[in-house]
Amino acid sequence: MKAVVQDRYGETDVLRCSDVDRPEPGPGEVLVRVHAAGLDPGVWHLMTGLPYLVRAMGYGLRAPKVRVRGREFAGRVEVVGADVTGFRPGDEVFGICDGAFAEYARARQDKLAPKPVNLDWEQAAAVPISATTALQALRDKGSVQPGQRVLVIGAAGGVGTFAVQLAKAFGAHVTGVCSTGKVDLVRSIGADEVVDYTREDFTGRYDLVLDTAGNRPLPRLRRALTPKGTLVIVGGEGGGRLFGGVDRVLRAALLNPFVGQRLLGLVAAERAADLQSLRRLVESGAVTPVLDRTFPLGQVPAAIHHLQSGQARGKVVITV
């Protein structure tokens, strides 16, 4: 089968589209014929091994433990392994696995859910990681409530576009922060107010601030919170080669016990229950994936360059 693989850390020149053996599902796993796979910043981190903290977290100190890139997908079940009870061959699914940039991928049944019936393959592949991250940031960490004021920084990104819609679905008043060319998009997906950060900074106080952009100092984010407000930092972009943007999360954790505000980081869990919740929200019309562009499997390096350029509006997806 065709797959995008790498044998060493580096920039996009370490990636190549090659023929590899088709994986076989083990107990509790299914083999999926991948039709589309989502691209998120985590792919760049696993490709480069940066920050170095990524390697220490078990992804491989000198080279990637998993050769095939990509982690979120939509496709059709081909084969089920032993002890799989929830799926059978022919089922259309979406979910999270290792090695999604390939014609076939092996996935655990507890990280899968039936594909939303109103989405095509590309739309469904955009959901699992980014929407799960937004859901857990708002619901689990942020404890968002109807009527609260929520600020989403990076509102036009993969996580941000889901966060705006989910916060509205939970009954919040949402302000989105983005650049000039993305203002109309953020407004179109339900934001009550939109701040163009190239022209002005956000003002006022918010019950919940969700920062997906990773480039604002912790004191500035705290000033945007109410005295009992909650900050949730998603991802670790920017920063140095050792810790990257994770250093802000570490500083927030150290400060959190000594202030009235809640300063939290998020490492999203991967579980079928959240995929099921998202499926229901998508099928109800409350949430719709925002797709920026699609790239074929052989153009994954170009897709990564596009995502890293900051020009993407919503999700970038790989077609297989």
**Same domain flag for 123 and 54:** yes
pLDDT of residue 249: 84
Instruction: Tell me, yes or no, whether 24 lies in a domain.
Output: yes
How many domains is the chain built from? 2
pLDDT of residue 166: 98
What is the C-alpha to C-alpha distance for residues 195 and 151, in angstroms, rounded to an integer?
10
Residue numbers of the domain that contains 29:
2-127+289-319
**Same domain flag for 123 and 160:** no
**Same domain flag for 140 and 259:** yes
**Same domain flag for 118 and 20:** yes
What is the C-alpha to C-alpha distance for residues 204 and 192, in angstroms, rounded to an integer?
14
Whether residue 232 is predicted with pLDDT greater than 60 in this model: the reply is yes
**Same domain flag for 121 and 178:** no
Q: What is the pTM of this model?
A: 0.96
pLDDT of residue 247: 75
What is the C-alpha to C-alpha distance for residues 235 and 9, in angstroms, rounded to an integer?
20
**Same domain flag for 115 and 15:** yes
Which CATH number belongs to the domain containing residue 300 in this structure? 3.90.180.10
**Same domain flag for 99 and 136:** no
**What are the pLDDT digits (tens) for 79-124?**
999 999 999 999 999 999 999 999 999 999 999 999 999 999 999 9
**What are the pLDDT digits (tens) for 250-278?**
888 899 999 999 999 998 999 999 999 99
Contact assessment for residue 299 and residue 39, using Cβ atoms and an 8 Å cutoff: no
What is the C-alpha to C-alpha distance for residues 276 and 239, in angstroms, rounded to an integer?
35
